[in-house]
Each structure stands twice: as C-alpha cells, then as structure tokens.
C-alpha cells in the first residue's frame, strides 16, 4: 500500500499553510488553513456531543461551498464516513439514499432541506443547513441547544494552534466515503472508497503534475469523484487556495473568474472546450473569407496560433494544462485544438476508482483520441478482445473500491475473485501503452454479420456535423441502425433554417457519415428528436430511457 495516509497529509497541509488562504466562495473573503483547522475541530466537538461514532455515516448535499468542504474534511478526519449526494437527485432519491447509507447526520443546502421530508430520514439525529451550519431539524428536542452551547463554548474556551493540531489516523482500509453513482441506468449504487483509495489518486496527481499557482477554481460538482478528488482534495493537500463556484457557471462568469484568479490548472469536462469551439471558433472558420485564408499554409499557421492563444486567455492566461474527463471528447475538435497549441489532455476514470484510471500530461507525446496511460497504482488488461484488440477494460490495484454498500451481489458482478474490477467500458491499449475508449459494453451492438458496433463512436462523428447538438444511435433490429438527433436550434434560428431545410441537411449528414463507416455500421435513417436528451451529472445520456424510441412513429424521419 501507499506509504502516505490521507488524514495525515491533510493534517500536514493545515500546519504547513496555516496563515495562507484555504477556501472561499467566489466573490467572498477566504478563510485561512488555520481557520479551517479550527472549524474542523469545532465540528468534531459537535459530532462527539451528538454521540457520533467513528465509522458512522454523515451525508452532505448542496452546491459547492466552503461549508460543504468543511463538512467533508471534518467527517473524514473524525474517522466517520462522508456520503456526498448529487444536487440533482430528486427529494425521493435523497431520502432513499440517506436512509440506505444509514446516515446519522445530514448537512444540506436550504433548497434541499425545503424539498425534503426530514421526518422520513430514519436514522438521522439532526439536519444542518449548509448555508449557516445551524440545526434545522432534530429528533431530540434539546439538540439545537446542545449544538449552540458546544459552538459557544468551543469558541470561548478552545484555541486551535498548529503545534498541537493532531488527528487520529484511520486504517488505510477504513472507508472514507460512500459515493452514490448517477449512471445511465438510473440505478444508484453506493461505492465504498477507502482512505487508501483516495490517497492513491492524490499521491499520483502530486507525483505527476508540476507544482505551480496559488489558487484553484472549483466548478465541477464536488459530489462527483472527479471534481472532489482533483478540484478540492488534491489542491487542499498541496496548500492551494480553493475558490468554489457555488452556482453552475456560465461561460461569461467562468471567463471573469479565470481572468481574476489565473489558475495554474483547470479541471474540466469536454463540454466546456467543445462549447468554446462550436460557439466561437467553428462559425468563424465557416465564413468564406476564413476558408480562403485557412487554405494558405503560412496564414493558416498564424490563425491557429492566434486561436490557441485566445483559448489560453479564456482560462486566465497562466494555465499549465486543462485536464478533461468524465465523458468522451469529440476527436475532430480534439485534433483541431491540439494543432492550435491548446494545452489540454484527457483522462479516464470511474467512481469505483475514486476516480482515476488513466492520464498522460499534454506534453508527454499524448495521442489524439487516447485518454492516456494507466496510472501508476493500477494494472490493466483487456478482457476477451476482438480482432481489433477491443475488449472490456479491467483494472486492479491500490485505488479500487471496497465494493457497493449493502450490495454483495452487484459487487461480485464487477469485482472478480482475483481482484479485477470489470469496468463495463470497452477499449484497447496500443503498443505504446495508450488507452483508447470505444464505448460501453452494454451499449455495444452486434451486427447481423457478427461485427461489433460501438454507437458512441458513431455519435461523436454525428455530433460534429452541421446543425447537430447531440445524437443517440440505437439498434432498430434486422441490421438497421437509427440515429436520433437533437438539432442545434440556436444555429437554425441564427441562419433562418426551416424544418424542410433541416431535413435535407440531415439527409446529407447521413450520406456523408455513411461514407466514413463500414457497411455493417451504416445509419439507415436519421430521426429528429425535438428535445435535449436527459443526462447524468457527468452529461452522459441516460440511454435506457430511450431504447423504445425505435418503435415510435412520432419522430420525423430524414
């Protein structure tokens, strides 16, 4: 196992950076690492007064904020188990998951509390507001007074100093967090992640990324492993000031924040870079004047360099690297951005690995379309590969989950007797060790001639085509594939494109697409889906909601 301990590295960071700014909500004053230590200890006193034992569960649900981070750190350093819940879970899902996790305390934003029937929380002793950390519901009548008294006495009688700061270090195999997935199946499973599992992710990032910068902009959901591990925990361990974007940021707000903060590193999802390209760059490149200029090699190089510099300025101008994860990157956009000199790279992971599986620095000869090489603390294999070397990605090592909480059958289905985690993702590893993703095993379509078809690869091509916002490829049976397309209505409106013209454009898209596909994977027809597809928190389409679309006659065919 890794030598470092998660709680010890947090303790060391608090001491080493005592007077430096630690956390702040965007637009508000920061609290220092020393003040963070005091607030953690204050919450420990509250937990002890309420009779919370080590190993018990504490749930948190709300927007990214300083208080969210404090609850997480206080829980983990107390030896309890933090259960972060996604903001976009329904009230019924929140109640079910708080109960399923056996949580004894619940911290939630006011809007979450307002829609939650707290009396339905079976094991919860008290509900706290994340907005001001006050008790808003308690089963015992004296809980509010007890907590108020503890906080008052703590601030009056106890002074936390760095020389005496110490946390009890949990065992490496102890569970630090239970993260409930929000997958494309719509069925949430509680992924049990140990202290060692989280530490493997943080240690790998510390070893792999250059040091630099003073602050981090945290805008990915903290309840999701990607944002939590690398926007929050890694930066806290490295002694950086983490600035939380409490609301889902618009590009305008992000530009302002990046310009002010000038982060050294940006953790993002492909959607951000793809939106920059599709909304700002592609319309410019499609003008007649620009097409002529781009045909001149010398001029093209100057234009590409200018585009790359513009995107770098979007991220504040001092960003070493943008790390994209959580979803597949459109290969054509990726190739363009790399040629423009944009410093970004793609990683791959899943909640069950907390989350990292593969990554390569942008400067380390990374390959377009790849999500990097397998991280240091994991071993990988491709199970049951086909003739192209594509099979299920399996991994084992330091940062593998301990299992699904109270779900032994589901755990056994993905963790085999030799410790291999079967990811359910299809991919291949080339001779240089780079991993390429092809799609989900459960989504793979078997053609009538026995060929494997990966719909996600086709969708990435469709999404790049004119007037397409997003797409979904489904098996209609009898060797027929159908693509459902949600059109780019904003672009249609801007260019005054009618429904009849759109149908003709989609027919041309289909013909051009099929020229790039093998015979067994050609699209028989495109159908217009008038609404955006429903997605998970990581912007993946909930495919199971749409499997019956192929039998519906209400969608316009192109």
pLDDT, position 183: 55
Q: Which 3 state secondary structure label does DSSP give 223?
A: coil
Least confident residue range of 177-181, 275-279, 369-373: 275-279
Give the residue-averaged pLDDT of 144-153. Answer: 88
pLDDT, position 50: 96
Q: What pTM, to 2 d.p., does this model score? A: 0.88
pLDDT, position 157: 61
Give the residue-averaged pLDDT of 442-451. Answer: 84
Query: What are phi and psi for residue 513, nearest 5 degrees?
Result: -60, -50
With a CB cutoff of 8 Å and minimum separation 6, the contacts of 263 are: 213, 215, 216, 217, 315, 316, 318, 319
C-alpha distances out from residue 410 to 29, 185, 189, 191, 415, Å:
45, 14, 9, 11, 9
Least confident residue range of 195-199, 313-317, 396-400, 419-423: 313-317
Distance of CA 454 to the CA centre of its chain: 23
Q: Which residue has the higher pLDDT, 425 or 328?
A: 425
pLDDT, position 156: 61
CB 394 within 8 A of CB 414: no
In DSSP terms, which residues pair with 137 in a beta bridge? 127
Residue 186 has pLDDT above 60, yes or no: no
Give the residue-averaged pLDDT of 439-460. Answer: 88
In DSSP terms, which residues pair with 426 in a beta bridge? 392, 439
pLDDT, one tens digit per residue, over 168-178 is: 999 999 999 99
In DSSP terms, which residues pair with 81 in a beta bridge? 57
pLDDT, position 364: 86
Q: Which residue has the higher pLDDT, 518 or 279?
A: 518
Reported as type and span, the H/E element at residue 292 is helix 288-294
Where residue 479 falls (left for φ over 0; alpha for ψ -120 to 50; beta otherwise) is: left
pLDDT, position 184: 47
Give the residue-averaged pLDDT of 162-169. Answer: 94
In DSSP terms, which residues pair with 404 in a beta bridge? 191
Residue 409 has pLDDT above 70, yes or no: yes
Q: How confident is the model at residue 535 (pLDDT cuts 50, 70, 90)?
A: confident
Identify the residue whose tokens are 């994860």. 325
Give the residue-averaged pLDDT of 155-167. Answer: 84
pLDDT, position 253: 87
Q: What is the DSSP letter of 236?
A: H
C-alpha distances out from residue 514 to 154, 156, 370, Å:
69, 73, 24
Q: What is the DSSP letter of 63?
A: S
Q: Which residue has the higher pLDDT, 45 or 332?
A: 45
Residue 187 has pLDDT above 70, yes or no: no
Tokens of residue 115, six digits: 């829609």
Query: What are phi and psi for residue 191, nearest 5 degrees?
Result: -85, 120
C-alpha distances out from residue 272 to 55, 255, 326, Å:
38, 11, 12
Q: Which residue has the higher pLDDT, 39 or 365?
A: 39
> Chain-wide mean pLDDT for the chain?
92
| 3-state class percentages of the chain: helix first, strand second, coil last, to nearest 5 | 40, 25, 35
- What domains, with CATH codes, occur in the chain? 6-238 (3.40.50.980), 241-437 (3.40.50.12780), 447-551 (3.30.300.30)
pLDDT, position 158: 73
pLDDT, position 94: 94
Distance of CA 388 to the CA centre of its chain: 29
Residue 249 has pLDDT above 80, yes or no: no
CB 97 within 8 A of CB 85: yes
Residue 251 has pLDDT above 80, yes or no: no
């Amino acid at each position: 196992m890794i030598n470092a301990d998660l709680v010890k590295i947090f303790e060391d960071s608090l001491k080493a950076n005592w007077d430096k700014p630690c956390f702040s909500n965007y637009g508000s004053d920061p609290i220092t690492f020393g003040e963070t230590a005091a607030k953690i200890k204050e919450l420990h006193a509250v937990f002890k007064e309420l009779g919370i034992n080590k190993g018990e569960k504490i749930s948190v649900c709300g927007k990214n904020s300083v208080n969210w981070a404090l609850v997480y750190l206080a829980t983990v350093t107390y030896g309890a188990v933090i259960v972060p819940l996604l903001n976009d879970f329904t009230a019924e899902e929140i109640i079910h998951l708080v109960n399923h996790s056996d949580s004894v305390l619940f911290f939630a934003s006011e809007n979450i509390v307002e829609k939650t029937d707290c009396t339905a929380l079976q094991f919860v002793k008290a509900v706290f507001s994340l907005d001001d950390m006050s008790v808003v519901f308690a089963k015992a009548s004296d809980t509010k007074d007890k907590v108020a008294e503890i906080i008052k006495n703590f601030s009056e009688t106890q002074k936390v100093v760095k020389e005496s700061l110490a946390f009890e270090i949990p065992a490496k195999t102890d569970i630090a967090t239970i993260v409930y997935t929000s997958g494309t199946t719509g069925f949430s499973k509680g992924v049990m992640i140990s202290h060692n599992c989280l530490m493997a992710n943080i240690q790998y990032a510390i070893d792999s990324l250059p040091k630099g910068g003073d602050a981090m902009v945290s805008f990915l959901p903290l309840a999701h492993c990607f944002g939590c591990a690398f926007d929050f925990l890694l930066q806290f361990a490295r002694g950086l000031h983490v600035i939380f974007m409490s609301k889902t940021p618009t590009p305008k707000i992000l530009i302002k924040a990046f310009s002010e903060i000038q982060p050294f590193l940006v953790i993002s999802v492909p959607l951000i870079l793809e939106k920059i390209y599709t909304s700002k760059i592609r319309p410019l490149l499609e003008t007649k004047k620009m097409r002529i200029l781009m045909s001149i090699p010398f001029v093209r190089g100057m234009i590409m360099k200018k585009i790359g510099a513009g995107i770098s300025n979007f991220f504040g101008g001092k960003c070493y690297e943008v790390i994209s994860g959580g979803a597949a990157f459109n290969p054509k956009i990726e190739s363009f951005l790399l040629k423009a000199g944009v410093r970004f790279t793609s990683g791959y992971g899943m909640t069950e690995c907390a989350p990292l599986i593969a990554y390569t620095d942008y400067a380390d000869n990374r390959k377009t379309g790849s999500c990097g090489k397998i991280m240091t603390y994991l071993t990988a294999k491709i199970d049951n590969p086909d003739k192209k070397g594509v099979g299920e990605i399996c991994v084992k090592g330091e940062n593998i989950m301990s299992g699904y909480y109270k779900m032994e059958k589901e755990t056994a289905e993905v963790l085999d007797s030799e410790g291999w985690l079967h990811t359910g993702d299809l991919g291949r590893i080339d001779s240089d060790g780079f991993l390429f993703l092809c799609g989900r095993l459960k989504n793979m379509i078997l053609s009538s001639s026995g060929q494997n078809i990966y719909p996600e690869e086709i969708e990435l091509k469709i999404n790049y085509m004119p007037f397409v916002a997003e797409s979904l490829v489904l098996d209609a049976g009898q060797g027929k594939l159908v693509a459902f397309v949600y059109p780019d209505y904003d672009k249609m409106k801007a260019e005054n494109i009618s429904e009849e013209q759109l149908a003709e454009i989609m027919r041309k898209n289909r013909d051009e697409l099929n020229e790039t596909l093998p015979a067994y994977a050609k699209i028989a027809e495109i159908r217009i889906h008038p609404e955006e597809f429903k997605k998970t928190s990581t912007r993946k389409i909930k495919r199971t909601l749409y499997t019956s679309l192929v039998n519906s006659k209400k969608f316009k065919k192109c």
